[in-house]
Structure 1
């Protein structure tokens, strides 16, 4: 399968949808593999190493979803970085444990995953709930992290309840590209609705601020200009709490900015990592 041509920010078409749903089949340079991590058979979608010596980039999905919707960003970064997109426990093609992990357990699993792959310090890119997990890894396992990208990070203290977060998500669906819907349906089916609900409960009980202030790595806070889940005030607060953070707001994109605006986000990640490449 050829790589789809980049689409304008806020767009997601049928070519991207087909590629997102391709796993575990190889497609557009992406392959699937499974490794036993902390007792769970863990699926990872990955690109080849372009051989430029650039640090690896690890994409961490959000609540209810999986590697699938992060495929456009993985493809956009593949020419310059080795990219890994693991499915968190219970989601996507990873084994489903009997319980829904909270942020701390997901962070521990991701740290074990990094160890299993023997990666050098990596750029961790977390979206939505995945940003909570990435912030926890950066705070608790700093030696494993070269840089951090917090994209659409949840959850805003002004709406830290299940009802409020679900309400904001419903508003966001109105401005998202409709072609993403089959991915969400497939991912919720894989995870099971009870796990989605339980994980949302863990998310709204997680005080991400305590981890943000402990992030020592260079950071980038990314949101879409039309993101109703992460309003301007919360995005500004996140960037202020992280000691070394810059911000990017992508015009026309909504909450799923990594999916619908992979080009601008990939360019921003390359700029974030450029100083570390210079100093290698």
Structure 2
């Protein structure tokens, strides 16, 4: 499998690490929390084979990108997209993301409309007040407590959680890589989900003017959110893959790339 080239761009919060593979129409890929641009390892070659230049960004504080300083917001994450495009000499690109990355993609499309040609929202998250309250007392508290522990218990916890979510569809080697991605960043583990749950996506969805694809899969834990997004924007393109989970880009990379390529073939 061909490996992406790596590089850095100077951005508003320091250095931004990115990966790129292929040539052709550029598509920026933004990862979920708490992962890195490695989330799209199996998608880069699929998109490159379909005639795209796939560019994955480590959002601030994730992977090898510098952190924001303090608790970041989705708006902070979106601010690095133009800097990477500038560094690569790209005027406009499709911007797509998964879960937290989908929120960032939507925000980038609205904030930088002259730089974003089209949008791919894979698993958009429309959290309501009940979701936020549950996050504060549940996932947020668990992530705050995820600190180095004897016997690498914190790593085991991440591995077991991702193994449960994958339900046997992701190899042990790849699950181990998920643990590395989750812990390699310069920001605290909890930053990504904290930014996502405090972001209100509905106004952003309504403000998007670019051609947009809502991409989901029936096994995604927030599959119902995609349907809510579709109800708000029935004019957006829609594609639903069968099965999978939150690791759909690993579970069905070819089908995922086919859906994106088919959508972009329809964009003027």
- Do they superpose with TM above 0.5? yes
1:48 aligns with 22
Shift of 1:118: 2.8
Hey, what does 1:149 align to over in structure 2?
Answer: 120
Cα distance in 1 for partners of 2:13, 2:190 equals 24
Out of 214, 223, 237, the position equivalent to 1:231 is 223
Matching residue within 232, 235, 257 for 1:241: 232
Is the alpha carbon distance of 1:140 and 1:96 closer, same or farther for their aligned partners in structure 2, counting shifts above 3 Å?
Answer: closer
- Aligned match of 1:213 in 200, 206, 210? 206
Give CA deviations for 1:4-57 in whole Å, capped at 9, x if unaligned: xxxxxxxxxxxxxxxxxxxxxxxx1411111222251211111131xxxx4211
Structure 2 equivalent of residue 186 of structure 1: 180
Which of 188, 191, 194 is matched with 1:198 structurally? 191
For residue 23 of structure 1, what is the aligned residue in structure 2? none
The superposition leaves residues 144-199 of structure 1 with CA deviations (integer Å, 9 ceiling, x where unpaired) of: 111111111224325334256679x876344652433212211222126x623133
Structure-1-length-normalised TM-score: 0.78
Q: 2:262 aligns with which of 250, 255, 271?
A: 271
Indicate how the Cα distance of structure 1 residues 145 and 242 shifts in structure 2: closer, same or farther if over 3 A, else same. farther
Which residue number corresponds to residue 249 of structure 2?
A: 258
Tell me the matched-pair count: 243
Choose which of 94, 97, 100 in structure 1 pairs with 2:71: 100
Deviation at 1:240, TM superposition (A): 2.6
**2:190 aligned counterpart, secondary structure:** helix
Distance in 1 between the 2:29 and 2:181 partners?
Answer: 16
Q: CA deviation at 1:132?
A: 0.6
Q: Give, in whole Å, the separation in 2 of the partners of 1:86 and 1:124.
A: 11
Give matches, 1:37-186, under 5 Å: 37-49=11-23, 54-79=24-49, 80-157=51-128, 159-160=131-132, 161-162=134-135, 163=137, 172-174=165-167, 177-179=170-172, 180-186=174-180
Q: How far apart are 1:97 and its partner, in Å?
A: 4.1
Q: TM-score, normalised by structure 2?
A: 0.82
In 1, the alpha carbon distance for the partners of 2:170 and 2:126 equals 22
1:98 shift after superposition: 3.1
The question of whether the paired residues in 2 share the 8 Å contact of 1:215 and 1:242 is answered with no
Given that residues 151 and 258 in structure 1 are in contact (C-alpha distance below 8 angstroms), is that contact kept between their aligned partners in structure 2?
Answer: no
1-structure distance, mates of 2:82, 2:62: 17
- For the aligned residue pairs, the C-alpha RMSD in angstroms reads 2.3
Q: 2:126, 2:202 within 8 Å by CA — same for their partners in 1?
A: no
Structure 1: runs of 5 or more not aligned: 4-27
Indicate how the Cα distance of structure 1 residues 63 and 155 shifts in structure 2: closer, same or farther if over 3 A, else same: farther
CA drift of 1:110 comes to 1.9
Distance 1:82 1:176, change over 3 A: same
Q: Say if 1:217 and 1:244, in contact at 8 Å, map to a contact too.
A: no
